[in-house]
Structure 1
């Protein structure tokens, strides 16, 4: 475990982390979490379709869900940003608490954010979470153990937090490594500083160590010059794509290359400046997008949008893509039907979407390919 950047004072040895994590996890499983809203369950079945693809209701009664991830036993684990709960949705539609993480301090856009599961050797599955504490954002992990989890272990400390622009998406790449999207935490200039962790895409080994092949020696920084990365996904060729929130304009989808500079805060959208990598797709107005999660089925990207209240379908170009503008074939789904959309997850031949409507949030599924 390593601490980086401005939160170096948070450095702890592994024994301290395991002891603390064990105490927190046991307290949560013993029922010490604060009162929460009851969890409603939903038996899978058709929901009103309105205009657009057929929708299947999977769960209701969630409180500001942020991320979904699938365990190998078929359960879908869901994080709630403000309650600090991770919930478990079984294949038969039962929604139950898995764990409450009391170290989470929610506020504004910070709280319990991204989830990922990485299978270790043998049968072990590790659940990773990106969360905000009182002093920083960090990545932790805990082993899935039946209907609960093991001790919480800090993996990466010291990612700056703020009321907004906390990033939070974490995904395992085809290379087996963990990728982490961060926001600039309102410190715009830090996005251009490779020694800082905000405004970046980071890459670490599953145990928190730094891959030798990273572009900056000894650093988790994989790419920089980002404003607020919220979506990560890989296409059929193994290329990494990221969705990023712009400043009231120029929301972006970028093709990510190691060590490259994506321009924030000097430029947004297509700048034609040799110092920076231009985005492949741009939404001129956040009213149409405000992109959060990015899920890729083959070479079709599905981008869940917050302010835009829609799901964008973007056919990704093969070969060397041309930067800027609108990708040919881009179309809108669910426009205005489900409110703010926070996450999208491929589950078999369905695309699951989590809404971001406070205590009225729910999870729906769309059958793929969508008509």
Structure 2
């Protein structure tokens, strides 16, 4: 299948008072939500407001809301009070975005979040490390700051890779910014950092956090069983991409969309019209029949897709979930099941009275 196949369908310590507005002393639970009529789907939380990303510990699920709240689901119940409220910018394409738990979270209790903020009327993004204990904030530490931001294109995905490094997808100060082509800029990049924000010695550019460049607005990152890094990326109005990420490589934006220029890396998949991809995960469990497949959320496409993909091209794509409206993120939980959040309250959807939702896919 052609790589350009087009199919229908779319991130110095800071004082805690400058960041955290609330860290409640008590967290009484809300009543559990009613269950879906579909026995293959379990509803874990309702009433989420513009949720963006999911992260797990052994006994907690953390969900970010773009307005600044970190919500906690514990024992399958959404806690009434957020873990924290962060002073995030209230803008359409930014706010509190990505979240990740440290690989050794059960011992160090480190949470990492990516958010947009305003300083002297200039927008920036940063990655903050939060130390959590019993659903309270103990400490905060800035991992990386002064990532250029904009009203619309902020990237925001943060994940720990199989190498134990923190990967951060950044956005643009303006849509057609050529700084994504500048390896010395933090715009339009995937960054690779140690867990304390220092730069790994084996990064492709000396003394630089940059892993790859020429990106527009990455919305998902995942690694397959062979350690390959895949990223889902939205185009301007079309030409969404799935890219296989290699260290030091240039993925073209804004000079290239969807391939054709030998100066840049071509995507594995290009979508026209847009499906607006969200989060993406490589499923590696045995509880569901998706082993070694990529599972991708879509917003405009309103589906959760099962992708059979290799290092060169997409071989097949099938919908495994629809009818929920816009789907923002998907993750594999410690229990082996898939978890998704909807995004119908983001201003582009048609929310019902229970939106937005966190769901577990059981089969």
* Residue 280 of structure 2: aligned partner: 294
The alpha-carbon distance between structure 1 residues 120 and 350, as it changes in their structure 2 partners (threshold 3 A), is closer
The alpha-carbon distance between structure 1 residues 122 and 308, as it changes in their structure 2 partners (threshold 3 A), is closer
State how far apart, in whole Å, the 1-side matches of 2:146 and 2:167 are.
Answer: 16
* Residue 8 of structure 1: aligned partner: none
The alpha-carbon distance between structure 1 residues 30 and 39, as it changes in their structure 2 partners (threshold 3 A), is closer
1:149 and 2:137 aligned: yes
* Residue 77 of structure 1: aligned partner: 62
* Residue 356 of structure 2: aligned partner: 361
User: Mapping of 1:35-184 within 5 angstroms?
Assistant: 41-43=31-33, 45=35, 47-49=36-38, 54-72=40-58, 74-82=59-67, 84-120=68-104, 123-134=107-118, 135-184=123-172
The alpha-carbon distance between structure 1 residues 121 and 329, as it changes in their structure 2 partners (threshold 3 A), is closer
Shift of 1:364: 1.4
State how far apart, in whole Å, the 2-side matches of 1:103 and 1:205 are.
Answer: 25
State how far apart, in whole Å, the 2-side matches of 1:245 and 1:62 are.
Answer: 24
Q: What secondary structure sits across from 2:155 in the alignment? A: coil
State how far apart, in whole Å, the 1-side matches of 2:18 and 2:318 are.
Answer: 48
Shift of 1:176: 0.3
The alpha-carbon distance between structure 1 residues 243 and 341, as it changes in their structure 2 partners (threshold 3 A), is same
Shift of 1:366: 1.3
1:257 and 2:274 aligned: no
User: Mapping of 1:319-334 within 5 angstroms?
Assistant: 321-323=311-313, 327-334=314-321
CA RMSD of aligned residues (A): 2.1
Give the length in aligned residue pairs.
Answer: 329
Q: What secondary structure sits across from 2:232 in the alignment? A: strand
Q: Normalising by the residue count of structure 2, what TM-score does the alignment of the two structures yield?
A: 0.85
- For residues 257-286 of structure 1, the C-alpha deviation after alignment (integer angstroms, 9 at most, x for no partner) is 000001111111131x22111111221211
Specify which structure has the bigger relative contact order, considering alpha-carbon pairs within 8 angstroms and separated by 6 or more residues: 2
Any stretches of 5+ residues in structure 2 without a counterpart?
1-11, 285-291, 346-350
Shift of 1:44: 7.2
**Structure 1 or 2: more helix by fraction:** 1
The alpha-carbon distance between structure 1 residues 144 and 102, as it changes in their structure 2 partners (threshold 3 A), is closer
Which ranges of 4 or more aligned residues in structure 1 deviate by more than 6 Å?
none
- For residues 183-239 of structure 1, the C-alpha deviation after alignment (integer angstroms, 9 at most, x for no partner) is 223252111111111111111111000111111111111000111011000001011
The alpha-carbon distance between structure 1 residues 103 and 43, as it changes in their structure 2 partners (threshold 3 A), is closer
